[in-house]
Structure 1
Amino acid sequence: MEFVWTAKAAALLALMLAAPAIAQSQESDNGTDPTKLRRTFWTSYEHMDLSSDASRGTFKLMYEAPISPKTSLRLTLPVVGFDAPGIESGSDVGDIALRATHLLSVTRERGIVLQGELIGDTAGRAELGYGATVVKATAIYAKFLEGGRIFAPAISHTQSIGGDRQTRETTIDFYYVPKLPDPAWYMTVDPAIISDWENDRVYSSVAVTAGRAVGKVGGGVAQVYLKPGIFIGNDRPADWSFEVGFRVIGF
């Protein structure tokens, strides 16, 4: 499995470097502004290195579309593979999720965004999902900084409803979008602090996304991206992760 995702990452990086530049700007929307609703389709694969010689690989198909000027819906369909000593390996359907995003207030200086997500207990095996139906509520405050930069801290809480396993988790996220010289490229930096109330654990994570526009597809802009991440703290549930993806926005 590790060879497969490493080969995918290398091929995607080569595509990013070789593709002709497709100019994007903050005004034209490159997908980094949380206060902009856009029709988006994307697919991704994430490898996560867990503790105790275990790993998880997740392939996702996602589609998001506005249903009103201030609200959009996103559907996520995951296929998850889990590899650990003493557990049968293989892939199966994960927990299917539906998320609503609502723009509460947006001005030239800042934006307030609310999100609610329902994650169904649909995983084919217990280790591939939460083991319960889960709801997640998120509030985002986006501050538009000089030069097109964005700082958008957020707080979210995840809570299970019934099921065999209980989940109570709060995440404080410090999302930041720098302004890059080449508008064909974009980057996000995403540090977070996670409190797992059910297991009395606190840990941190940092993920960096680097993406590039590679062409036009169906009236939208096609992008490829790489997203490495690390987990920090004695209570961390994983050591590192790496995600590769392709998406089309604004079609």
Structure 2
Amino acid sequence: MKTYCRSLLGALALALATTSPLLAQQEAADNGTDPTKLRRTFWTSYEHMDLGTDASRGTFKLMYETPVSPKTSLRLTLPAVAIEAPGVDPGMEFGDIALRATHLLSVTRDRGIVLQGEVFADTAGRPELGYGTIVLKGTVIYAKFLQGGRIFAPAVSHAQSVGGDRQIRETTVDFYYVPKLPDPAWYMTVDPAIIGDWENDRLYSSIAVTTGRAVGKIGGGVAQVYLKPSVLVGGDRPADWAIEAGFRVIGF
């Protein structure tokens, strides 16, 4: 699995460096970073997370999102998860399948309000590979469109378990920011967050920076690759750092 991850990261890094400027100019209008734009999207990604104390988790995901009305879209996530730790079966198995609905409550030239509701099914092959119960998650996003094409879109989300033996109560305050880059082929998001795990009395923070680039056209949409390193901060953090590599096609 680690060899696969290194190969994927290397291929993505090469693709990031070799994209044509013409494609960038054609697709500057929508690179997938605006949370108020609904578009048909397909993702595949792999994330390696360092859990500390000689443990790590690898997550492979397939995701598909499609608008079902002018203001609403649905996204399905199919994960496969493996944990490498002493005394733990390292085999990869299904994680918790998730279905998310996104609704554009109000969008103007200056700002947008987006609502999201997501359900995580208790489908993991082993208890440590998922929540261990059904979880509902609600999110409110307020997107402010700034001068020069920049976006600041803070969000508040809360995840809550429904039934089952394991209790989940987690709130996240997210400060999503999209800068405007000189080369429109490239995009970047900066994503600091504060997370409260109320069930385990934990409070910690994280920051993730995503850098991506358009690499071609597929099926009428734009293909992109991206890298997303992140770090977690605080004595209560459940992990130390992570890196995600992905490929997606948007707007097909």
Same fold (TM over 0.5): yes
Deviates more, 1:159-168 or 1:218-227: 159-168
Q: Which residue number in structure 1 is paired with residue 65 of structure 2?
A: 64
Say if 1:140 and 1:153, in contact at 8 Å, map to a contact too.
Answer: yes
Deviates more, 1:51-60 or 1:101-110: 51-60
In structure 2, the CA distance between the partners of 1:200 and 1:129, relative to structure 1 (3 Å rule), is same
Q: Which runs of 5+ in 1 are unaligned?
A: none
TM-score, structure 2 length as denominator? Answer: 0.97
Secondary structure of 2:240 counterpart: strand
Distance 2:18 2:66 in 1: 30
Q: Which residue number in structure 1 is paired with residue 165 of structure 2?
A: 164
**Where in structure 2 are the equivalents of 1:37-52 lying within 5 Å?**
37-52=38-53
Deviates more, 1:101-110 or 1:82-91: 82-91
- Over the aligned positions, Cα root-mean-square deviation in angstroms equals 1.2
Q: Which residue number in structure 2 is paired with residue 111 of structure 1?
A: 112
Runs of 4+ in 1 over 4 A off after TM superposition: 24-27
Distance 1:41 1:29 in 2: 15
Q: How far 1:240 sits from its partner (Å)?
A: 0.3
TM-score, structure 1 length as denominator? Answer: 0.98
Q: Which residue number in structure 2 is paired with residue 19 of structure 1?
A: 19
Aligned pair count?
Answer: 251
Distance 1:173 1:157 in 2: 11
Q: Which amino acid aligns with 1:142?
A: A
Q: Which residue number in structure 2 is paired with residue 4 of structure 1?
A: 4
Q: How far 1:8 sits from its partner (Å)?
A: 1.5
In structure 2, the CA distance between the partners of 1:24 and 1:118, relative to structure 1 (3 Å rule), is farther
Q: Which amino acid aligns with 1:137?
A: G
Say if 1:224 and 1:245, in contact at 8 Å, map to a contact too.
Answer: yes
Secondary structure of 1:5 counterpart: helix
Q: Which residue number in structure 2 is paired with residue 29 of structure 1?
A: 30
Secondary structure of 1:55 counterpart: strand
Q: How far 1:89 sits from its partner (Å)?
A: 1.1
Say if 1:24 and 1:30, in contact at 8 Å, map to a contact too.
Answer: no
Say if 2:27 and 2:185, in contact at 8 Å, map to a contact too.
Answer: no
Q: How far 1:11 sits from its partner (Å)?
A: 1.6
Q: Which runs of 5+ in 2 are unaligned?
A: none
Q: Which residue number in structure 2 is paired with residue 124 of structure 1?
A: 125
Distance 1:165 1:84 in 2: 22
Per-residue deviation, residues 18-59 of structure 1 (Å, max 9, x unmatched): 232322588721100000000000100000000221111000
Report % sequence identity.
74
Distance 2:117 2:84 in 1: 31
Q: Which amino acid aligns with 2:179?
A: P
Distance 1:244 1:145 in 2: 28
Q: How far 1:15 sits from its partner (Å)?
A: 1.2
Per-residue deviation, residues 76-104 of structure 1 (Å, max 9, x unmatched): 00011111111111100000000000000
Say if 1:156 and 1:171, in contact at 8 Å, map to a contact too.
Answer: yes
Say if 1:43 and 1:62, in contact at 8 Å, map to a contact too.
Answer: yes
In structure 2, the CA distance between the partners of 1:24 and 1:39, relative to structure 1 (3 Å rule), is farther
**Where in structure 2 are the equivalents of 1:184-195 lying within 5 Å?**
184-195=185-196
